[in-house]
Structures are given as structure tokens and as C-alpha cells.
Amino acid sequence: MAAAIPLFLVFYVTKMNDITNAVVKVLHVPYKYAFTFTSTIHFIPMFMNDMKGIMEAQTARGVEFDAGGIVRKVRLMVPLCVPLLVSSVRKTNSAAIAAEVRGFNLRTAASVPIRRSRRGRDGGIPRARCDRRGPGGAAVTAAEAVR
């Protein structure tokens, strides 16, 4: 329990994308596995909220979850699992479609952003590409376009 509170705070305060990138960079875990881990962490509170709503609906229908022994409580959980399973499949399917539309399967080592340090000759001018083309059709940087 003592480790649960700091762990909860880390996941609560830090963006999931930052956690994924840190796991990839520091622990050298492949991106797909790190993304799966953080997605699982992201879905846990959603499923708990769904479970709470389903239990409230069942309680409104007259089901008493507090009464009886352990065997009765386990039997009462079975009708809760079906709606929770259906809603979780819908949500994970929507998340999978969203990831596929955004090109998740197309991510390669070449698509990861490369951090480059600034050099003295950069002089504070951003070296972004613009729509202008130079001689021979080569793209012109913003610094060259000013000249």
C-alpha cells in the first residue's frame, strides 16, 4: 500500500505520452509494448467507472450486493461482467480504430523524432522548411528565404 500512493501520483500527474516515451527511452522497451502498458493504465479508471455505473443500475433494480456470503457475492458478479465486457470491447475497439487511423502500425524507427542540438551558426533563426523552392526545385529553408 505504501508504494501505491506514489505510483498513483506519478500516473495521475504525468501525461501517458510522456510515460510511454520514458519507458521506450530509459528502459529500451519497444514502443508497441510501452503503448500497450500505458493504454492499460489509461483504461483501468474508465472500467472502474463503468463497473460503478452498472452496479448502481443493478442496485436500482433491487439487487443487494452487500447481503450474503462470499459465494452469493461471486454469483452476483457474473451478471455485472457481461455488460462490463460489452462496454470494454466497444471502447477498446474504438481505441484500436483510432490508433489505426492515426497510423500506429506505420510507426518505424525512422519516424521517431530526433533531438538535435543547436549550433553557434544557427544564430537563433529557426531552420524550418517553407513552400519556396530554390534552383533545381530544392526546398529552401526559412533562413535562406530571407536573403
Rounded-to-integer distance, Cα 55 and Cα 2, Å: 29
Residues in the chain: 147
Is the distance from CB of 127 to CB of 141 less than 8 angstroms?
A: yes
Q: What local confidence, expressed as pLDDT, does residue 43 receive?
A: 86
Residue 43: CB atoms within 10 A of its CB come to 15
The candidate with the shortest Cα–Cα distance to 90, out of 36, 37, 46, 38, is 46
Q: What local confidence, expressed as pLDDT, does residue 124 receive?
A: 58
Q: How far is CA 94 from CA 27, 90, 99, 117, in A?
A: 29, 6, 9, 39
One digit per residue, pLDDT tens: the chain, 147 residues?
Answer: 677 788 778 777 888 888 888 889 999 999 888 888 888 888 888 888 999 998 898 889 888 877 778 888 888 888 888 888 999 899 889 988 888 888 777 655 555 566 677 666 665 555 555 445 555 555 555 555 455
Name the grid cell of 69: 456470503
- The DSSP string of 93-147 is HHHHHHHHHTTGGG--GGGSPPP----GGGTT----EEEEE-GGG-EEEHHHHH-
